[in-house]
A and B are shown apart, each in its own frame.
Chain A
């Protein structure tokens, strides 16, 4: 436990200093933890695992958007667990209500292959489809298509700064969509 949290803290410190690779590593490590927490929480309240990945993604978004609330001189474990608990409770309160999206909006983002057996990699494309057009294209380009900021800027004939702003706003909007608020 201690060693794992020490690892998170070390990676997060490097990330806050601008190390993107360290940031990816800590987010991946946190994903494993968050997924286990969400599964355990859903099991305790007799909920199926269908929404586990939504909670994981919501918590990751919160960790990202609120990383300024971690005080680097304090242990990171309680901070992460508090965010995980908050997002789990939010999800349980919503009672697993699915976010309603017209099917036409979803169709183009649905995966072509049949649903995989791995529950934990369930596609959460429906939240992306609620973003407005350009934001969705940019978030999709960087997340799903794995393009860099520069490549995305070239593709949409935008400045890199404008892509960064749109990406950030898109991620903040995703976080709101998960909470059923207007983005």
Chain B
């Protein structure tokens, strides 16, 4: 087939519209988040004292952190799924998220007597946190890795990792309303491990399925 012939075929296919990346991400979230939400509500359950802790700064911080990580993941996915678009300013959002975490950890170390540091860090459900964040992230991640085939990432691994960060942050946000460990020391350890695990899974699978 000569290149001129190929161009003929490509222009005949012009009417078949490709999916823009933002719509692909939206479709994935539309499919994946309700499943994660269902697992939260029906299998894990939202913590019963949620209305009494709703104004607690430690409780609120969990959401500040996870939502800032979610924003970073979303921005990174949108950028890294397009060719010639490096992470750029989206890394700034990731830095904001990390900065919030450091600030909260610093504050906690100041206000909490040092004898309480370790119990606060270990909480009472560290293992559950590490397992349940990836569990809640699974459906959003699978959906993202499926719909992001519409993208054309310079690095399929990095785009996959960004999808993992987004899915992990979604999992963490939902998990935060179930989990009763609110210390920033706990969040900085176990939430970060949970989100990182999902990010690594995204990196590994993305490298295989997001090639184009």
Contact = CB atoms under 8 A, between A and B. Distances in A.
A9 interface: no
Q: Which of B7, B84, B212 has the most CB of A within 10 A?
A: B84
Q: Lowest 9 CB-CB distances: which A-B pairs, in order?
A: A82-B84, A68-B18, A82-B83, A143-B9, A143-B5, A66-B152, A78-B84, A69-B82, A64-B10
Interface residues of A, number: 51
Contacts of B2: 121, 123-124, 144
Contacts, number: 122
Contact of A60 (B6, B12, B15, B151): B6
Given A121-B3, A128-B1, A66 B11 contact: no
21 contacts: A18-B14, A20-B11, A23-B14, A28-B4, A64-B10, A65-B18, A65-B212, A66-B152, A69-B21, A69-B81, A69-B82, A69-B83, A78-B84, A79-B84, A81-B84, A82-B83, A82-B154, A120-B3, A142-B9, A171-B10, A171-B13
Nearest to A66: B152
Given A69-B82, A127-B1, A143-B1, A86 B154 contact: yes
A64 B83 CA distance: 13
Contacts of B212: 62, 65-66, 175
Interface in A35-71: 53, 56-57, 60-62, 64-71
Interface of B: 1-21, 81-85, 150-152, 154, 211-212
Interface string A110-135: 00000000001101110110000000
A56 B1 CA distance: 12
A94 to B, nearest CB: 13
A124 to B, nearest CB: 5
A142 B7 contact: no
A170 B184 CA distance: 53
A143 B6 contact: yes
A110 to B, nearest CB: 12
Given A82-B83, A148-B12, A68 B1 contact: no
- Dominant SS at the A interface? helix
B160 to A, nearest CB: 16
A88 to B, nearest CB: 13
B14 A20 contact: yes
A24 interface: yes
Interface of A: 15, 18, 20, 23-24, 27-28, 31, 53, 56-57, 60-62, 64-71, 78-79, 81-83, 86, 120-121, 123-125, 127-128, 139-140, 142-144, 146, 148-149, 164, 167-168, 170-171, 175, 179, 181
A61 B7 CA distance: 9
Contacts of B16: 164, 167-168
A148 B14 CA distance: 13
Contact of B7 (A60, A68, A121, A179): A60
B116 to A, nearest CB: 50
A20 B15 CA distance: 9
Contacts of A143: 1, 5-6, 8-9
A144 B152 CA distance: 28
Contacts of A67: 18
A23 B11 contact: yes
A147 to B, nearest CB: 9
A125 B83 CA distance: 28
A27 B10 contact: yes
Contacts of A175: 212
